[in-house]
Amino acid sequence: MKSESRIPVTVITGFLGSGKTTLLNRMLSEKHGHRIAIIENEFGEISIDHELVVQTDEEIFEMNNGCLCCTVRGDLIRTLGHIAKRRDKFDRILIETTGLADPGPIAQTFFMDDDLKNQFCLDGIVTVVDALHLLQHLDDAPEAREQIAFADRILLNKIDMVSSQEVEELEGKIHCINAPATIYRCVRADVPVEKVWRVGGFNLDHTLEIHPAFLEPEQPFAWGGVFHLPEGHAKISFHSGHGCSCNGHPEQVHGATSEHEMPSEFLLAAFPVASAWSPDFPDKAAADARALFSSEKAVPVANNVFFLPDKKLRSLDLKAHRGSSFLEVGEEGCYALFTSLSPESCDLRISVGEKEVEPEESRSFKPVHHHSGDISSVGLSLDGDLDEEKVTAWMGRLLQEKGADIFRMKGVLSVRGKDERLIFQGVHMTFEAKLDRPWGKSPRHNALVFIGRKLDRQALKAGFTACMA
């Protein structure tokens, strides 16, 4: 595979009015010095005349191989075939789809056609989302969910039209569908072009940099921190999300769409740990917290006073307590505090007197999502080497059986006997595997991500684990 010489292709999807054309025009008007060819499926007002712009009619067909999900885009095969004949090569191809386009056939085209495979590489799928209408689209339009599921990068556009709390909520919804995608919040599609392209195919490394928690198992809590607290009185304050003016947003902006669906209950567990620098945090502490969160029924905090040391799962009624609870610390020391909401989402603070106490250490965890739809993502992580034959056989079988439901798959694998990283990427039943750079000094490791419908995390994990050498 001559990956270095192939022309990168960026696909821009998004509903009508989400800001695709604005993004495209922005990409074309910046002085990046790249020669770009644009393939458009609908008439867009592209404000450029020196680049090649080709309009094509979306033409989807099945590959006659008995597999219903093996669909490709004939118009792209034809058009890119002609573009490939030019000796004055383009640096990049941008494909702007129609609002209702299914990204599946577009992505598969780059795996299924031999000529295209050798000359172009799918650099990334960028989905532009209109923050004001996302919720409505997610409810009404399966295409919107699929466009999000297929994306490598998501531009959450028009965030000036909603409150910051709603932006958080929208990001949460997007993450439920596609956890590994990188989300950029923006207004008028204003993001630096290098954020949109140079995705580098399915750049799993990048995904992991941005969401280190992605490959972890889901936890019953969202956040944990270690606080050093003196004996005596302290205060936990938080915002319930009701009737507040969220982070300085004027009331009238989100007044119309208020009633955020914040949980009325806030769960927390606090217990002593040896010291802030103890190796107990996060692993052992998280395990202890998981035990508390999973096995115990939450005990309401009585009289709004929370005693430490405690070692119980507690619930705070956010409505009743109106913003704060009291902490009675029986003994000076370090306490681990695990919470069901992230401190940012409820503006959690601990203070002693007038002074706010910062956590000595803290980290976010991947909370259990209550998926509202059937599209989700599963990330798997394994140390050690895989057996190439086993993993190829497993992957082949998996894609054959579940390919229709697996929208995208990406992986960086460590295969026994190979010095280089094995990079896997697939769309439905099609996939390509290639050797990447050598592992060198970085620890050998396997990471695999699936985005799709009805994914069975346990079964995927069991199958993957069975591929160990």
Tracing tokens 């704060």 back to the chain, one arrives at: 324
Single out the segment in contact with another protein by CB under 8 A; choices: 67-75, 131-139, 152-160, 391-399.
67-75
The verdict on 52 binding another protein (CB under 8 A) reads yes
* The token pair that represents 83 in the structure block: 């573009």
Q: Where are the beta strands (DSSP E) in 15-119?
A: 36-40, 52-55, 60-62, 71-73, 92-96
Check residue 50 for interaction with another protein (CB under 8 A).
Answer: no
- Among residues 25, 55, 164, 351, the one that binds another protein under rule CB under 8 A: 55
Of 440, 432, 430, 438, the C-alpha closest to 65 is 430
Structure tokens at 1: 């595979």
The 289-328 site mask, x for binding another protein (CB under 8 A), equals: ----------------------------------------
Helix (H) or strand (E) holding 35: none
Q: Which of 43, 65, 295, 303 binds another protein (CB under 8 A)?
A: 65
Q: Using N-to-C axis directions, what is the helix angle for 457-465 and 388-402, rounded to 10°? A: 150
Q: Please, are residues 416 and 399 in contact by the beta-carbon 8 Å criterion?
A: no
Distance CA 115, CA 13 (A): 24
User: Shortest approach of another protein to residue 67 CB, angstroms?
Assistant: 11
Q: Which two tokens stand for residue 258?
A: 């208020």
Stretch that binds another protein, among 54-62, 128-136, 227-235, 255-263 (CB under 8 A): 54-62
Among 5, 61, 275, 383, binds another protein (CB under 8 A): 61
Closer residue to another protein in complex, CB, 109/325: 109
**Residue 64 or 252 with smaller CB distance to another protein:** 64
Q: What per-residue string of b and e applies to 160-197 under the rule 16 or more CB within 10 Å gives b?
A: ebbbbbbbebbbebbbbbbbbbbbbbbeebebebeebb
By the 8 A CB rule, do 126 and 99 touch?
Answer: no
Please, what is the minimum distance in Å from the beta carbon of residue 13 to another protein? 21
Site for another protein in 119-158 (CB under 8 A): none
The Cα–Cα gap between 434 and 425 comes to 9
Whole-number Å distance between alpha carbons of 198 and 203: 9
35 binds another protein (CB under 8 A): no
State the nearest-atom distance from the C-beta of 400 to another protein, in Å.
Answer: 17
Shortest distance, position 120 Cβ to another protein, whole Å: 16
Q: Which is nearer to another protein, 70 or 155 (CB)?
A: 70
Q: Tell me if 327 sits within 8 A of 236, measured CB to CB.
A: yes
**Rounded-to-integer distance, Cα 448 and Cα 446, Å:** 7
Point out which residues pair with 180 in neighbouring strands. Answer: none
Select 72 or 422, whichever has its Cβ closest to another protein. Answer: 72
User: If we measure between CA atoms, which residue out of 263, 220, 268, 267 comes closest to residue 240?
Assistant: 263
- Element counts in the chain: helices (H) and strands (E): 15, 25
* 3 state SS of 309: coil
Report the nearest approach of another protein to the CB of residue 79 (Å): 8
Shortest separation between residue 431's beta carbon and another protein, angstroms: 18
CB 14 → another protein: shortest distance, Å?
24
Report the nearest approach of another protein to the CB of residue 5 (Å): 14
Q: Is 57 in the site for another protein (CB under 8 A)?
A: yes
Interaction mask 68-107, another protein, x per CB under 8 A = ----x-xx-xx---x--xxxx-------------------
Angle at alpha carbon of residue 140, lines to 138 and 146, rounded to 5°: 50
Helix ranges (DSSP H) in 95-186? 103-112, 114-119, 134-140, 142-150, 164-177
Interface with another protein by CB under 8 A: which range of 41-49, 64-72, 152-160, 439-447?
Answer: 64-72
Q: Please, which residue, 4 or 88, has the CB nearer to another protein? A: 88
Encoded amino acid at 13, one letter: T
CB of 197 to another protein, least distance (A): 23
Give the burial class of 299: count Cβ atoms within 10 A of its Cβ; 0-12 exposed, 13-18 middle, 19 or more buried: exposed
In angstroms, what is the minimal distance from the CB of 48 to another protein?
A: 14
Q: Which is nearer to another protein, 66 or 440 (CB)?
A: 66
We find the least distance from the C-beta atom of residue 60 to another protein, in angstroms, to be 9
Query: Residue 228 CA to chain centroid, in angstroms?
Result: 33
The two tokens of residue 408 are 């995208």
Piece of 61-69, 222-230, 309-317, 356-364 that binds another protein (CB under 8 A): 61-69
CB closer to another protein out of 74 and 463:
74
Count, residues near another protein per rule CB under 8 A:
24
Please report, as ranges, the residues that interact with another protein according to CB under 8 A.
Answer: 52, 54-57, 59, 61-65, 72, 74-75, 77-78, 82, 85-88, 113-115
